[in-house]
Structures are given as structure tokens and as C-alpha cells.
Structure 1
Amino acid sequence: MSAKPPFRADHVGSFLRPKALLDARAQFKEGAIDAAALRAVEDSAIRDVVKFQEDLGLKGITDGEFRRTYFHTDFLLQLDGVEEAGGTQVKFHQHGGKELEYAPPVMKIAGKVEHARDIQRADFDFLASVTSATPKVTIPSPTMLHFRGGRDAIDATAYPDLDQFYDDLAAAYRAEIASLADAGCRYLQLDDTNLAYLCDETQRENAKRRGMDPDELPKLYAKIINDSIRDKPADMTVCVHLCRGNFRSSWAAEGGYEPVAEVLFNALNVDGYFLEYDDPRSGDFAPLRHVPKGKTVVLGLVTTKLGELESKDDVKRRIDEAAKFMPLEQAALSPQCGFSSTVHGNDVSMGQQADKLKLVIDVARDVWGEI
């Protein structure tokens, strides 16, 4: 598995933004610098974060999502027909019982969804030009345009029939993936909070209130994702990352993978899964019994939400527990999520971020003899 992704020691993708980048973003927002000046700062920061990853020994390299404010909206808003429509107030939870009030942006479908322009290609081209390892592109799952708003967020004039919306959405993703494939991208990750939210009883009830059946949604979402990636090159690895929310070290959902496991592992035509497993809110490993041969599960056993470093022995013991339900050869290791899914970043330091990744690499070497 080390020759192609996902790698034994891997990561989700986002990294803490350096101060120079945050300052430049603030200056751009105030009109003090133009887009070209901001991009130059982004380029410099990306070169540095690429070197950081390569020096650690990682084989899959991202741009840290340094050009984004949110992991999803910066991409989705570049599709024709998609608009931002405020936010939905959510209580995010932190370790220690603290709560954060936060309103994640909600996407609204105001017209026909179309892929009118390349979205990630220029960013991929730059990343590929500054790394000798495998460049990975992370984009939001197409399901992110459905779950939070449902039928009410999709203009009925543009889409009286929701099946046409699903078809157009998948077609737009196919066009973007074709663009990335043409540029040479062979490692793609879809970030999906919705399949994980469907493991949470409160989120399932919220879906019902929006007129959706939480038992049917996993099947619908598997179909949308499968339709989106169906024309990918045979040598392109596509993984999906399931996340229960990652904002300033807090989360929005809890619950084990059992409600979605069978569909997730057997109906979804992806190569691998990045799964959160850093604490009890993600449930036990029993759902991994559904993993078929030929697919890889990257176990997110090292948290990005807390700076305290896990012990190697504890991580290895949990890998052993997971191996009771799926072959060890089909497993890999990563942090549970990105370190900065939004520009705000989690409550960890740059040094702690590095230590977490070193731990992942060290454990992977000990367990599999490779990274």
C-alpha cells in the first residue's frame, strides 16, 4: 500500500495558518493589498508547509488548504447556481464540557448547478510544482450542497425535480475531477460531514424536520458521490473523510458509524476512508466488520483537537482493537481531522501539530514497517 495512496502514515489535509498568511488575508479584506499580492503570500506559505510535510517524511502532500477560509464554501461557491445564505446556529462541543455558538455557512441553490470554470486546477498546478511527493487535493463532498438545507435550500423553479439537481451536481463534480485528472492529480479526497452527522441522533432528528429520511440519505449520498467520481481515471485514488465538525477544537456531532457503515463501506465506490476515532464520541470499531477486501481505512486515532500528545503504546493498542474487525493490512493511520478546517485553526500550537504528525509516522513504521 505504501506505493500508492492512502499511505500508511497519512493526514487529512489542513494545517494551522502562519501569522504572515493570516495578516495578508486581513489586509486583503481591508483592501490594503490586491489578489495578486495575497496569492504571492499564499504561495510562499504553501512552499513552507510542503517542505514541513516532506521533512517529516510524509508521502501525501497538501497545500494545507491555505487558500481557503472554510474547507467547503470556498469551493462550492465557485459552482454556478450556488450562493451563501447565512448560517444555521449550532452548538459545537469542546473537551471539558465547554460549548461554542457557531453558525456554519449554509449553501443555497439559486439556479442551475454548473461547472463553469476550473476550481482547483491552478492550485493543484502550483502544489505539484513545489513537491516531489504525491500531491493530494481535498474538496468538499457533493453532499455538502444538500444535507444542511434540504429541499428548502434548493430553488423549486430551477429544480422542481430533485433528481435533476442530483444529476447536475454530479455532472459538475465530474467536470472538476476531469480537470484535475488532466492536470495530473491522482490523489483526491472528498470531505464529508453529512455521513458522520447521520450517526448522531440529534442530527438525524434535525434531518427529519427538514423533510428527509435519515435511513435513506446514506444511499442517496452514496449514489451522488458514485455518480460524481464515475469517470475518474483508473489510477486516481479517491478517499472520503468523515468528520463530525472541526471548528476551533470543537465538534457538532457524536455517535458511532453503525447507522451508515454498510452503505459507507459497500455501496460507496471509493478506495479509502479517513475515519475519526480519537475519542469515545466516534463509537467503537465494530462497524469496521463491514469493510470489504480491497479498501483501506485510515484510522484517525491521533486527535487534532487537543495539544496533549498521545502515547505510542495507546495508539498501537487501539490499532490492535481495530484489527479485530478488519485486516491490519487494510488499515493505515492519520490524525483524526485537519488541524485547521477553517481559517481559525484548532487550539494547538505549531509544535504540537508537528509532534502529532511525527507520532503518526513513528507508529506506522512500528506497526507496518513502512509509511
Structure 2
Amino acid sequence: MSFKLSPPFRAEHLGSLLRPDYLLQARKQFDNKEITYEQLRVLEDKAIVEALRLQREVGIRAFTDGEYRRHMFYDGFFDHLQGFEEIQNPPVEIFKTYVPDIKAFLANNIKPAGTTLCTGKIRHVKSGYLPQFEALKALVQPEEVKNIKLTLAAPEWFHLRHGEHAYRPGVYANRDEYFDDIAAAYRRELEVLYAAGLRNAQFDDPLLAYFCAEPMLKGMQEVGEDSEALLDRYIQLYNDCLAGRPEDMAVGLHLCRGNFRHSIHFSEGGYDAIAVKLFNKINVDCYYLEYDTERAGTFEPLRHLPKNKTVILGLVTSKFPELEDVGALRERVMEAAKVMAAGTGESEEEALKRICVSPQCGFASHSEGNLLGMNDMRKKLALVKDLATSIWSDA
């Protein structure tokens, strides 16, 4: 499957942007019931208008709302499905402690304050993403709607963390039944969003990159969990979620190694361990890959990327304010094109046409954001655009 539309653009960003202080303060006031939702919404709209202005000024054309209506990047799907329930102060025993972020929290004596579990049959009753999309549509020109990019939660998000504890045994007899209903809910979600005009969707999934982390794989082996079989099942889940999607709906998959508050990451390891399956088995059009530090490994896995798919290289870090050298970044893009060409037999020029560039992750996967300021973020996004223009004159 290849792209029918313009996304991804040569210069991309990954969805979340730093929130202005007034929006963070308003969110706290809303959570404390000090202001109404309507009052919060006014400030959200103001912040999103400013975010759109920023994206236009630096030359980013795939518009997002910065995820300003969310607390965490994965908000908006499971919390709107019938059958899921938010659980406060969950027991540690229901978590899979080999999962890198869970392991990191527990190592620092941070007990999870809450989670979301399936306690009843899963049904899609309303879209949590649709109001976000419709609100953003109202703030752009009609001809720009096709350029809106909406970020979505990974379908296996709660399962990797909880395994058999992700759903009540009395509700589902096994994980296949559970996954089947999640997939049906995602198909319905995409139908709703497509009907509203969405043509560019991005799944945010750090969990697949965890399958590159040796400590997790070792931990799974120790408890008798077959990591390869589970990865295969997650790939099937993705394909079931995307079954029947329209050809003109571009879908991307973003992998990183954690981008928690204050620039923390959770895992390391190159894409080598999952590259063949990742690039050839999952029915998405493009991959947004973290490549800003050595923890992501080399470009060698890109030799497995087929000719009909695109990669967005996350070469610019979103974690720290120091600016990368555009010349060095350009050399890395050329290096990636050389690897891709060697894998497919195409020319390096042809491989270069299947590459775009971006920051390694969003700037605020968590509402508190990373260790850089608004002006730093602007410079980072401008650097991404400058890099793209230096390689593709029409970027």
C-alpha cells in the first residue's frame, strides 16, 4: 500500500507540543473544580490557535492541536469505550514488572496511582477523538483539513502492562476475544474519523520498541512469556484494527523508547530485533522512528523497509534544547538512504524520496513536557524544516 495523499510531509512533528503556562494552570484549576469545562475550553482554543501559528511560521504543514486537550498522549480512546474502568491505586501484582516503564517506576519507589482495565464487554459507544478533530477543523482553512494529523493510542497499550489482568476472566475467556473487541472498536473509531474528514492518522506506540530491549525480553523469558508470539499477536491486532480502512486514509506508526516528563526515557536497543516484522507485517504506510541518540541503534534495520513504505527519521531530539548541526543531520539522512537502497536494490535517489525528517518524539507526551522552553521548541521545529529544505528543495 502506498500513499494516495500528501502526508507525510518532508518536515514533520510528532503531535504533542509544549503547553503554555496559562493552559497548564487552567488544567489544574479544572481538575480542582475551580473553573468550568467551558472556561477551560476557551483557553484550550487560544493555545491551539497559537500552536497552529507556530507550525505555519516554521513551515510544518501536517497540523496538530499539540494534544492540548489531553493530559497524556494516549488519552482519548480507551477512556471512551464501554467496558473499560479507571482503577485508582491498583495493586502492583496486576502489572508486568518486566515492562520498562513499570520497572523504572517501581525501581524509584513510584507506585502506579491508577490504570484502566476492562471490566465489561468492550463496545464503541462514542468517539473521544472526534471532538478534538472537529475543534481543530474549525480553526484551519477548509483546504487544510486534509493536512490535519491526529495521534491515536496503541491498541495493545494496557495489555502489555497487565497481560491476563488487563480484562476480567468472566468477561473474556482469553486474550483473542479481548483483542477482537478492541479491533472492532478501532475500526469503528476510524470510520467515524474518516467520515468527519480525517485523512492522516498516527498511532503512538513506544511498546513495540520495548521488544528491542534485552532486559524486557529476558524478564518475559523468566516468567514463561513468549515474546515473539506476543509480538506476532500485537501485529495481528494492528492489522485487525486497520482492516477495511479507506485507501486514501494514510496511517503511520510512531515508535520511541519513552518520553516521560522531564525528558526521561525507559528503554534502549536498536530496531534490528523487530525490523522484518515491523516493516513487512504491519499494514501501515509509514514509520516515525526515534533516531536522535545511540540508544536507537543504527540505520541497518532500514534495509528491510519495502519500497512502498516511507520512514520519518526522528533525528532531532525533543528532550533537550541543544541544537543539532544541520550538516551532520543531512549526512545521517544520506546514510539512511544508502542503507535503504542496498536493501531494496533501488537507487539512493529513489530511497531518498521515501524519507522524511522529524523530532524523535513529541515535546510533551505528558502534559508537564520536556526540559526545554517554548523558544527552544520553535528552534527545534525550524531546524527540522531547515534540514528538510536542505535535502528536498520543495520541502
Using the size of structure 2 for normalisation, the TM-score is 0.88
Shift of 1:100: 6.7
> Which stretch of structure 1 is more off in the superposition, 158-167 or 273-282?
158-167
Shift of 1:218: 2.3
Mapping for residues 114-193 of structure 1, pairs under 5 Å? 114-132=123-141, 133=144, 134-193=147-206
Shift of 1:141: 1.3
1:270 aligns with 2:272: no
Q: CA offsets per residue over residues 110-131 of structure 1, 9 Å max, x none?
A: 1212111121111101111212
Task: Name the structure where strand makes up a greater proportion of residues.
Answer: 1
Partner SS for 2:19: coil
Partner SS for 1:91: helix
Q: Which residue of 2 aligns with 1:321?
A: 335
Partner SS for 2:135: helix
Aligned pair count reads: 365
Partner SS for 1:240: strand
**8 Å CA contact retained: 2:133, 2:150:** yes
CA distance in 2, matches of 1:202, 1:102: 20
2:17 aligned to which of 15, 18, 21? 15
Partner SS for 1:131: coil
1:199 aligned to which of 212, 217, 220? 212
C-alpha RMSD over aligned residues: 1.9
Shift of 1:74: 4.3
Using the size of structure 1 for normalisation, the TM-score is 0.94
Shift of 1:75: 3.0
Q: CA offsets per residue over residues 26-58 of structure 1, 9 Å max, x none?
A: 111111111121112111111111111112111
Q: Which residue of 2 aligns with 1:57?
A: 59
Q: CA offsets per residue over residues 212-247 of structure 1, 9 Å max, x none?
A: 321122221111111111122210100000021101
Change in CA separation of 1:166 and 1:304 when aligned onto 2, cut-off 3 Å = same
Change in CA separation of 1:32 and 1:271 when aligned onto 2, cut-off 3 Å = same
Partner SS for 1:12: coil
Mapping for residues 21-100 of structure 1, pairs under 5 Å? 21-85=23-87, 86=89, 89-91=102-104
**8 Å CA contact retained: 2:5, 2:250:** no
Q: CA offsets per residue over residues 295-352 of structure 1, 9 Å max, x none?
A: 0000000001111000101111111221121121111100000000011100011111
Q: Which residue of 2 aligns with 1:254?
A: 268
Change in CA separation of 1:164 and 1:21 when aligned onto 2, cut-off 3 Å = same
Please list every run of 5 or more consecutive structure 2 residues that lacks an aligned counterpart in the other structure: 96-101, 341-350
Q: Which residue of 2 aligns with 1:96?
A: none
Change in CA separation of 1:271 and 1:102 when aligned onto 2, cut-off 3 Å = farther
Please list every run of 5 or more consecutive structure 1 residues that lacks an aligned counterpart in the other structure: 93-98
Task: Name the structure where helix makes up a greater proportion of residues.
Answer: 2
Change in CA separation of 1:206 and 1:42 when aligned onto 2, cut-off 3 Å = farther
1:334 aligned to which of 355, 358, 366? 358
CA distance in 2, matches of 1:304, 1:135: 21
Partner SS for 2:160: coil
CA distance in 2, matches of 1:107, 1:195: 20
Shift of 1:210: 6.1
Q: CA offsets per residue over residues 88-135 of structure 1, 9 Å max, x none?
A: 64427xxxxxx9765665432212121111211111011112123311
**8 Å CA contact retained: 2:205, 2:253:** yes
1:309 aligns with 2:326: no
Partner SS for 2:85: strand
CA distance in 2, matches of 1:329, 1:212: 40
CA distance in 1, matches of 2:165, 2:75: 19
Change in CA separation of 1:252 and 1:146 when aligned onto 2, cut-off 3 Å = same
Q: Which residue of 2 aligns with 1:360?
A: 384
Change in CA separation of 1:42 and 1:227 when aligned onto 2, cut-off 3 Å = same
Identical-pair percentage: 42
**8 Å CA contact retained: 2:4, 2:248:** no
Amino acid corresponding to residue 125 of structure 1 in structure 2 = E
